[in-house]
Structure 1
Amino acid sequence: MLAGRMVSEVEEGLGISPNQYGFWKGRSTVQAISKVINWAEESRRGTWRTRQIPLMVSLNVKNTFGTIAWRHINMAIEEKRISSYLRRQIEEHLNERRCKISTQEDEVHFNMSGGVPQGSVLGPYYGSWN
């Protein structure tokens, strides 16, 4: 329910970038690849003097979902003009999360301030706003 409302508010508000693919209904990464292939094929038209030369840059940001700071998530939801009710719900979802590491000898707890909760339906949306 929370994820559906968040998606609705983003799409009805400022929306997402036209170049954002993945994790959004009707905007798969396969579509992004198709768009790049079509662009490259179109660039082959014309003479060597008039045709465009395509250039593509691909970034692989390691551990994005595991390291994203919650303050950045909060900034993104404010920039997207998400309702105050939903902002509070998201902040509550992230608030007071703790990590527990257990070994045979000891158990350690520490507070979390970043990372997307594993298994969360909101996880993909937290890391995909641009």
Structure 2
Amino acid sequence: MLAARITREVEEGEGISPNQFGFWRERTTVLAANKVINWALEVKSGTWRTRRIPLLVSLDVRNAFGTVKWSQIHRALQAKNISPYLRRQVAKYLSERTCTVNSQEGE
């Protein structure tokens, strides 16, 4: 429910970047791949002197959501003009998180 309300506020506000794909409704990673393929086909047209050289950088960040600082989440919500009420709800949700590590010595 919290995610749906945040999504609605983002969409009603400035929205997301046109280059944001994945983890967003109707913005799949397949669409991102198609965009890259079409772009590469477009830039290879022309003579060898005038055509642009395509370059793609892809990042695969492991455990991105588990390692992001909560203060960065709060700043991002504020930057997207998410309502103070929802920001407080996210803060409450994050403040109740715990981490359990299992090792040979125990939990």
TM-score when normalising by structure 2: 0.89
Three-state SS of the structure 2 residue aligned to 1:98 is coil
Are 1:74 and 2:74 counterparts? yes
- Which consecutive unaligned segments of at least 5 residues does structure 1 have? 108-130
* Cα distance change on mapping 1:73 and 1:44 into 2, 3 Å: same
Which residue of structure 2 lines up, in the alignment, with residue 17 of structure 1? Answer: 17
1:7 and 2:7 correspond? yes
Partner of 2:64: 64
- Comparing both structures, which one devotes a greater share of its residues to strand? 1
How many angstroms apart in 2 are the aligned matches of 1:106 and 1:55? 48
Paired residue total: 107
Please give the secondary structure, in 1, of the residue aligned with 2:89.
Answer: helix
What's the CA shift for 1:82?
A: 0.0
Q: Which consecutive residues of structure 2, in runs of 5 or more, have no partner in the other structure?
A: none
Match of 2:37 in 1: 37
Deviation at 1:103, TM superposition (A): 6.8
Mean CA deviation greater in 46-55 or 29-38: 46-55
Q: Which has the higher helix share?
A: 2
User: Does 2:100 align with 1:100?
Assistant: yes
Shift of 1:102: 5.9
RMSD: 1.8
Seq. identity, %: 60
